[in-house]
Amino acid sequence: MFDFKISEILVKPLKDDYVCVICSDYVLNHYPIESSQALSCKNGHLMCKLCWDKQLALRKECGICRIKINSIGELCRNIFLEKAIRGKKVYCPNLYTDFRMNDGELVIDEQGCKEIITIDQIETHLAQCEYGFIGCKNSIECKAKFRKNHQEKHEEQCQYSIINCEHCEEPVVKDKYAKHLEDDCNVVSLECEHCHNKYGRRDLLSHIRNECKEVVIDCIYKDGGCNKRIKRCDLPTHLKENNNHIFFMQTLINKHRIETEESDRVIKKLKNDYSELEKRVDVNSRYRGSWTIENWESKLATHNNNERLKSPYFSVGSKNFYIGLYPNGFNDSNNNHFSIFLHLYEKPSFLSTNVKFSFELVNNNDLSKSHKMEKTNIYSENKGSGFGRFIETKLVKDFVTNDKITFNIDVEVIPSESKLLTK
């Protein structure tokens, strides 16, 4: 349903008694009509609800007489005037097309609804009016709009309507029906080009591959060396030749034995390679990446001493890490300095993890002036290790680009030494 005003569909214009003193529109002019009210101040100045809302949002007084009004609830509703307006005659909105002229005027449609009703009857009438505009039920592909009483005609013509195939009864889009019959329908009868009998498409493929006696096929011992091609119906006779194909059978058996031995060798090698890779993943693991922090100025201003920014987690082999950054220092002794630490995220363990790591604060204007520090630490529990005084906070402004700072991160898990002892 298109938008319209009551004033656009009135059979006769209303008197000035029904007009808002501010916008000069009818006080009940919007559909649905329940959204409008005829409201006046205690001195009788009539305005539509929209104008009252605007007026009271600016000043708590009547726009005409300046009497004080705190809220809409203090206004008087003119039920008598509303009832009079509701009884006025209008054309059914479906008399018009669903588009407007360039100047905004509604366009009368000769095929539209000719009913004349009261304003009060609009909603009830529209609910049952056969001239209302609707969309095609195949709206995903069909964008047509038409009146309700033209629906049956449209569905007969719509190329996107769904029909059932007369052969397989599968639902098919109408404009794809011919293609369905040609390429997809499994029931429509097709002739076998070899024996000339008819089968459904699905059955035809199976018939040609497995059953048709007239199809020329390879000997079943082709891989054993027999290269003859014969009709399927002649295969039993062919197999009796050459001492029942014993030579070809033996050749095929030997070939399969060799292939099996080669497969076993490959599988064994893959298992060994996989075992070596598993060892490498834990032993020689390293992470190189970067951590970018956006909206830097606001984060610097809101993170006081001992307040931390935390990076996303990242993995090095089977170990999980994260970085903690204190823009204004980890504690009072590190005040006005960056404090930055690498944390190993895992449950306490009697096993230790030896980690070599570095942090580099990137200077995008001059990479040679980037600030880097590195360290090696042995982790035995989830505690951070790093630098309490990485760089003075006031110097960081030279490293900020587009309100972002970036750290290059290099973390390497060093394999522990394995010592053998015999006593």
Residues 372 and 394 in one domain: yes
Residue 65: closest CA among 45, 48, 81, 37: 45
From the list 417, 409, 324, 408, the residue with the least C-alpha distance to 378 is 417
Mark whether 253 and 357 lie in a shared domain. no
312: cis peptide before it, omega within 30°?
A: no
Quickly count: other Cβ atoms within 10 Å of residue 237's Cβ: 9
Look up the domain containing 291 and give its range: 285-414
- 113 lies in some domain: yes
Within a 13 Å sphere around the CA of 8, how many CA atoms are in the beta-carbon half?
17
Q: Looking at the structure, tell me whether residues 14 and 90 fall in a common domain.
A: yes
Judge whether 119 and 90 are in contact, CB under 8 Å.
yes
Cβ atoms within 10 Å of 391's Cβ, excluding its own: 17
Structure tokens at 38: 């005829």
Fill in the DSSP letter of residue 97: E
pLDDT in tens, 315-373: 887 788 999 999 988 888 888 899 999 998 876 566 788 899 999 999 999 999 999 99
Are residues 18 and 106 located together in one domain of the fold? yes
Are 245 and 365 contained in the same domain?
Answer: no
| Cα gap 94→31, rounded to integer Å | 14
Kindly state whether residues 241 and 291 are assigned to the same domain: no
Classify residue 394: in a domain, yes or no. yes
Strands (E) across 334-383 are located at 337-344, 353-361, 371-379
Q: In this structure, what CATH number is given to the domain that contains residue 12?
A: 3.30.40.10
Same domain, 86 and 49: yes
Number of domains the chain is built from? 3
Give domain status of residue 148, yes or no: no
Same domain, 242 and 348: no
In this predicted structure, what is the pLDDT of residue 156? 84
- Does residue 281 surpass a pLDDT of 60? no
- Answer whether residue 159 is part of any domain: no
* Percent of the residues in the chain that have a pLDDT greater than 90, as a whole number: 43
CATH classification of the domain holding 408: 2.60.210.10
Of 93, 120, 117, 119, the C-alpha closest to 106 is: 93
Query: Based on the number of CB atoms within 10 Å of its own CB, is 7 exposed (0-12), middle (13-18) or buried (19 or more)?
Result: middle
Contact 242, 251 (CB under 8 A): no
Question: Residues 23-64: pLDDT tens digits?
Answer: 999 998 888 887 788 999 999 999 999 999 999 999 999 989
Q: Which residues contact 110 (CB under 8 A, 6 or more apart)?
A: none
Residue 419 falls inside a structural domain: no
Residues 274 and 385 in one domain: no
Please report the pLDDT score of residue 62 as a whole number.
Answer: 93
Distance from the first to the final alpha carbon of the chain? 95
User: How many angstroms separate the CA atoms of 224 and 202, rounded?
Assistant: 32
The residue from 128, 156, 176 where one domain ends is: 128
Looking at 69, 100, 128, which one is the last position of a domain? 128
